[in-house]
Amino acid sequence: MSKDGLILPKDFPQLLNDTFLRAARGEETEHVPVWCMRQAGRYLPEFRETRAGKDFFETCRSPETCCELTLQPLRRFAFDAAIIFSDILVVPQAMGMDVQMVPGKGPTFPEPLKEPEDLQRLQTKVDVGKELGYVFKAITLTRHKIEGKVPLIGFTGAPWTLMSYMIEGGGSNTHSKAKRWLYRHPESSHMLLRMLTDVIVEYLLGQVAAGAQALQVFESHAGILGPVEFKEFSLPYLRDIAHRVKDKLKEAGQDVPMIVFAKDAHYGVEDLSQSNYEVVGLDWTIDPRSARERTGGKVSLQGNMDPCALYAPKEQISDIVKRMLEGFGTRGYIANLGHGLYPDMDPENVGAFVEAVHQHSKQMIKQM
Ligand code: CP3
């Protein structure tokens, strides 16, 4: 971004496959586009080799390595989109928190937020260009190296999901420390959520300026909230992010589809479809037909095969995919899993999933 806030175009290779972008906007396509959350991940031997012996967040700070990891799955599978290799927890780091990835344990904050006074430890005015410039560099480099094969997706964690990590200090089953804040310190909770929203808006705009062609917001911990808490502590911030990012992009004459993925937020599907996101991502606990009915054709849908269905034999994967396509229909639909790939998954079955989406959807569209 230039000093006056304008987003400058860069000389990127021409996009050769825009199926994903068209589906996001509800336009016609020749096949249903497909990508997988965590497609750049440990299920790939080449990923494990590139990551071997290196600290996770050091890897995130190397644009060249992020670029290589992002491109690896595209060399094996006919994915219709790539997602930049990074992590949602780089945002709390940019706000001054220490986060480490402990092998076998996952993300760990040695000094999580305990009481509202701890908010004073956080950086309120974050210079995203300085603190997260390494992500922007990775995006720009990848956008060049991808040679226009498919669009590149940028992403962020949503405020509630990041807040819960910052208070829990890592993964948790109950999220009771973070939820305690919502009930005991609602004002400080809103203050933290607002602080996160401000950084996230700048971060997403920086990703677009660097070359991201779509944006996904991960509200991975939506399911731990009930409908009332979701409406108070998650939805307003998800909406604020979409509105502010879109307003700024409009000023710059840019149109970048946004995806909201609020995992396990069944009760929120109607609201999410009226939140200024082009696409609502779904986990596997929602029936495709009912999701279509409840969102009334207002948005495109993304998802939602149970990741564990990839443990099934290949022929069965093909049947499951066919049923999923019939449920969602082929228009305004992006095939994906209901959550990320697991490290023990067989790359061959991932390939079978991608093939099945392309093959069945081509046939269905031809027969229309
Ligand atoms: O391919 C892609 O999807 C792009 C890269 C990506 C990663 N993390 C790489 C990663 C994305 C989009 C994320 C987002 C992310 N990170 C989320 C939101 C999505 C979701 O899963 O709900 C969350 C909650 C995180 C936090 C996080 N980072 C967790 C829980 C873990 C797993 C820890 C573990 O030990 O399993 C990570 C680490 C991580 N991020 C890995 C990858 C490929 C695996 C660790 C490694 O490579 O060493």
Q: What is the pLDDT of residues 181-207, one digit of tens each?
A: 999 999 999 999 999 999 999 999 999
Ligand 1 mutation target, pool 35, 38, 47, most atoms within 8 A of CB: 38
* Any domain includes 200: yes
Among the listed residues 43, 165, 237, 333, the single catalytic one is: 165
Give the confidence band of 5 by pLDDT, cuts at 50, 70, 90. Answer: very low
Determine if ligand 1 sits within 6 Å of the CB of residue 223: no
* Any domain includes 143: yes
Helix (H/G/I), strand (E/B), else coil: 108 = strand
Asked if residue 246 has pLDDT above 90, the reply is yes
297 vs 65 pLDDT, higher one: 65
Burial of 52 (0-12, 13-18, 19+ CB in 10 A): exposed
pLDDT at 7: 46
Active site residue 22: no
> Would you say the pTM of this structure is higher than 0.85?
yes
Active site residue 87: yes
Asked if residue 8 has pLDDT above 70, the reply is no
Asked if residue 366 has pLDDT above 80, the reply is yes
Among the listed residues 87, 118, 306, 319, the single catalytic one is: 87
pLDDT tens sequence across 68-85: 999 999 999 999 999 999
pLDDT at 58: 98
* Any domain includes 240: yes
Active site residue 289: no
CATH of residue 264's domain is 3.20.20.210
Give the confidence band of 297 by pLDDT, cuts at 50, 70, 90. Answer: confident
Say if CB 61 and CB 132 are below 8 A apart. Answer: no
Ligand 1 mutation target, pool 34, 39, 70, 87, most atoms within 8 A of CB: 87
pLDDT at 285: 97
Instruction: Find the domain containing 131 and state its range.
Output: 19-367
pLDDT at 124: 85
Determine if ligand 1 sits within 6 Å of the CB of residue 38: yes
* Any domain includes 260: yes
pLDDT at 2: 46
pLDDT at 3: 45
- How many structural domains are present in the chain? 1
Say if CB 44 and CB 76 are below 8 A apart. Answer: yes
Nearest in space to 241 (alpha carbons), one of 208, 199, 210:
199
pLDDT tens sequence across 75-111: 999 999 999 999 999 999 999 999 999 999 999 999 9
Q: Where are the beta strands (DSSP E) in 88-148?
A: 100-102, 106-108
Determine if ligand 1 sits within 6 Å of the CB of residue 106: yes
pLDDT tens sequence across 56-67: 999 999 999 999
Helix axes 186-210, 159-168, angle to 10 degrees: 120
Average pLDDT over residues 270-285: 98
Average pLDDT over residues 147-164: 98
Average pLDDT over residues 165-174: 95
Average pLDDT over residues 349-367: 98
| Residue ranges in 79-185 assigned as alpha helix (H) | 90-94, 128-131, 133-145, 159-168, 176-184
Determine if ligand 1 sits within 6 Å of the CB of residue 65: no
- What letter would DSSP give residue 343? T
* Any domain includes 12: no
* Any domain includes 24: yes
Determine if ligand 1 sits within 6 Å of the CB of residue 340: yes
pLDDT at 209: 96
Ligand 1 mutation target, pool 34, 47, 68, 88, most atoms within 8 A of CB: 88
* Any domain includes 4: no
Average pLDDT over residues 128-153: 98
* Any domain includes 10: no
Among the listed residues 38, 61, 143, 244, the single catalytic one is: 38
Averaged pLDDT score across all residues of the chain: 96
What CA–CA distance (Å, rounded) separates 141 from 156?
19
